[in-house]
């Protein structure tokens, strides 16, 4: 789906990514783990056109994403759920979902989006209950559901999730990750960025480990989980007992 080759990303003069190579496999869940400031979010922002970068990001082996605006990338049905959820606080749940349709609906379009909304409500019944509540008044877990639901409204082919577990209670996190695997089973390719490495590797098919702007390790998630360096740095010494 997305092949990244020798990607360098910059915030002004600071080089945040130093030559990344990564392959988001079609129909699979690919996860990217790493510590704070390793460059995980920057990588997602590079794909969605929100930071300056050099190198190559190929979509479906033909379309070059670098140099395109975020808006054009969104129209390719590559949808980015940003870190910290970024739902629209003064819009209702329903209106937030409507905004998700903009990439295929167009500014003055008149296409119906009831079907998409029904599907989102089916996946997250809690959002249906809160339909007419304003975004800011939702709990953290509901806001994350709304952020993912909004992304699903955009008919994503690639869904990029940035730290969906951030700040949520463990029970909510496991519920959310079940939904994420369900979205993947229905055919959406997922690129998942997580600090919760154990959980991310459990649900994903392929894992990349990023550190200081470089990929330091990659492989099938089942293999990477057993790598002693990963256990030491990201899973902690109790990793075995939890597996």
- Of residues 133 through 152, those in contact with other proteins by CB under 8 A are 134, 136-137, 150-151
Q: How many CB atoms lie within 10 A of CB 34?
A: 25
Give the x/- contact pattern for other proteins in 106-125, rule: CB under 8 A.
-xxx----------------
**How far apart are CB 135 and other proteins at their closest, in Å?**
8
- Of residues 23 through 52, those in contact with other proteins by CB under 8 A are 48, 50
Helix, strand, coil percentages (3-state) for the chain, rounded to 5, are 40, 25, 35
List the strands of the sheet with 63-64, edge to edge: 14-24, 2-11, 52-59, 63-64
Which tokens is 142 given? Answer: 């509901």
- Of residues 68 through 107, those in contact with other proteins by CB under 8 A are 70-71, 74-75, 79-80, 82, 86-91, 95-96, 98-100, 102-103, 105, 107
**How far apart are CB 193 and other proteins at their closest, in Å?**
14
CA 156, CA 1: separation in Å to the nearest integer? 12
Maximum C-alpha span of the chain? 56
The answer to whether 157 contacts other proteins (rule: CB under 8 A) is no
Binding site for other proteins (CB under 8 A): 48, 50, 70-71, 74-75, 79-80, 82, 86-91, 95-96, 98-100, 102-103, 105, 107-109, 134, 136-137, 150-151, 154
């Amino acid at each position: 789906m997305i092949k990244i080759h020798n990607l360098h990303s910059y915030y002004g003069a600071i080089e945040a990514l130093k030559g990344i190579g990564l392959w988001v496999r079609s129909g699979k869940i690919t996860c990217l783990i790493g510590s704070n400031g390793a460059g995980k979010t920057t990588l997602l922002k590079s794909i969605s056109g929100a930071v300056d970068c050099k190198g190559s990001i190929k979509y479906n082996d033909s379309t070059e994403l670098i140099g395109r605006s975020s808006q054009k990338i969104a129209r390719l049905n590559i949808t980015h759920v940003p870190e910290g959820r970024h739902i629209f606080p003064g819009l209702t749940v329903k209106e937030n979902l409507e905004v998700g349709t903009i990439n295929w609906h167009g500014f003055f379009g008149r296409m119906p989006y009831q079907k998409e909304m029904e599907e989102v409500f089916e996946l997250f019944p809690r959002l249906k209950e809160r339909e007419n509540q304003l975004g800011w008044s939702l709990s953290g877990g509901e806001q994350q559901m709304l952020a993912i639901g909004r992304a699903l409204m955009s008919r994503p082919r690639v869904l990029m999730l940035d730290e969906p577990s951030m700040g949520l209670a463990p029970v909510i996190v496991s519920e959310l990750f079940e939904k994420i695997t369900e979205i993947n089973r229905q055919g959406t390719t997922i690129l998942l960025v997580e600090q919760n490495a154990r959980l991310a590797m459990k649900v994903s098919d392929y894992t990349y480990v990023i550190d200081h702007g470089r990929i330091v390790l990659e492989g099938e998630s089942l293999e990477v989980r057993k790598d002693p360096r990963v256990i030491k740095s990201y899973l902690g010494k109790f990793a075995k007992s939890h597996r």
